[in-house]
Amino acid sequence: MCFSATASFTTAAVLMPAGVYCVTKAASMQKAYWLFALMPFMFGMQQFFEGFVWLGIASGDGVTTLMAARGYIFFSHLFWLIWIPLSCYAVEDNANKRKLYFFLVLLGIIHSLSMYVPLLIHDDRIIVKLIGDSIKYKLVLLHDEYVDIRIMNLLYASFTLIPLLTASDRYIKVFGVIIMLSLVITSLYFEYTIVSVWCFFAAVLSLYIVFMISVKIKSDGAGSNGAGKIESPPAG
């Protein structure tokens, strides 16, 4: 997250228990949604790592900064590119959309590994510095020499936004819309620190999933007395 170590650790402290709550409820009543339910916890973990990035920068500890940055980038450049389309695949009933999401999962695995593995091996491919009150992650990727950064950004948005925005479940679609709006705002006002700031917005917005799971629990209890899987709400 941007702004400070305290803000990062505080966000993690809120999101991780919220994620545990969501997973517990989804496991007992909404099993198909447990991948979504885990998102607040994982966003909390990502913010936890960035808290240590802040501490490493403040103390001048390059080793701590690098190790924590690798943990943070694991989520931003690998985990989310796979987890989001996989989560949509798990709850989708439409066969054609499921094929699309499965295809995006496969592409996400290939693309994210091609970005993250070199960063895991080579220390000099990760440069972390402060710009204003935010952290900038300067990453040297394998694609930099022959792929325009705008194409890379479009690919990233495709893996994360297309599944959310096209989901049949209206609650997931709403989540996609607010995540997209946060990306637009971040791109306009935090261009140079977009990785850190957008992930902060996305982390905070993942609390929406707590609401989504809670609504589905109530619907499940009202519609089937807690037995079986409820039908996804019609597309909005």
Q: pLDDT by residue (tens digit) across 129-171?
A: 888 778 888 888 877 777 776 777 788 888 899 999 999 999 9
State residue 121 phi and psi, 5-degree precision: -90, -40
Instruction: Give the model's pLDDT for residue 89.
Output: 96
For the residues 205-223, what does the mean pLDDT come to? Answer: 80
In this predicted structure, the answer to whether residue 1 has a pLDDT above a threshold of 60 is: no
| pLDDT single digits (tens) 67-111 | 999 999 999 999 999 999 999 999 999 999 999 999 999 999 999
Kindly report which listed range (155-164, 200-209, 217-226) carries the lowest average pLDDT score: 217-226
Query: Please, what are the domains in the chain?
Result: 5-219 (1.20.1070)
Cα 187 to Cα 16: distance, rounded to the nearest angstrom = 27
- Per-residue pLDDT of 161-184, as tens digits, reads 999 999 999 999 999 999 888 888
How would you write the chain as a 3-class SS string?
CCCCHHHHHHHHHHHHHHHHHHHHHHHHHCHHHHHHHCHHHHHHHHHHHHHHHHHHHHHCCHHHHHHHHHHHHHHHHHHHHHHHHHHHHHHCCCHHHHHHHHHHHHHHHHHHHHHHHHHHHCHHHEEEEEECCEEEEEECCHHHHCCCHHHHHHHHHHHHHHHHHHCCCHHHHHHHHHHHHHHHHHHHHCHHHHHHHHHHHHHHHCCHHHHHHHHHHHHHHHHHCCCCCCCCCCCC
Q: What is the pLDDT of residue 221?
A: 59
More confident: 113 or 186? 113
The per-residue pLDDT of the chain, averaged, comes to 85
Residue 54 has pLDDT above 90, yes or no: yes
Query: pLDDT at position 222, please?
Result: 54
Is the pLDDT confidence value at 194 over 90? Answer: no
Say how far apart CA 193 and CA 231 lie, in whole Å: 40
Q: What pLDDT sits at residue 191?
A: 66
- Full-model pTM: 0.85
**pLDDT for the residue 144:** 75
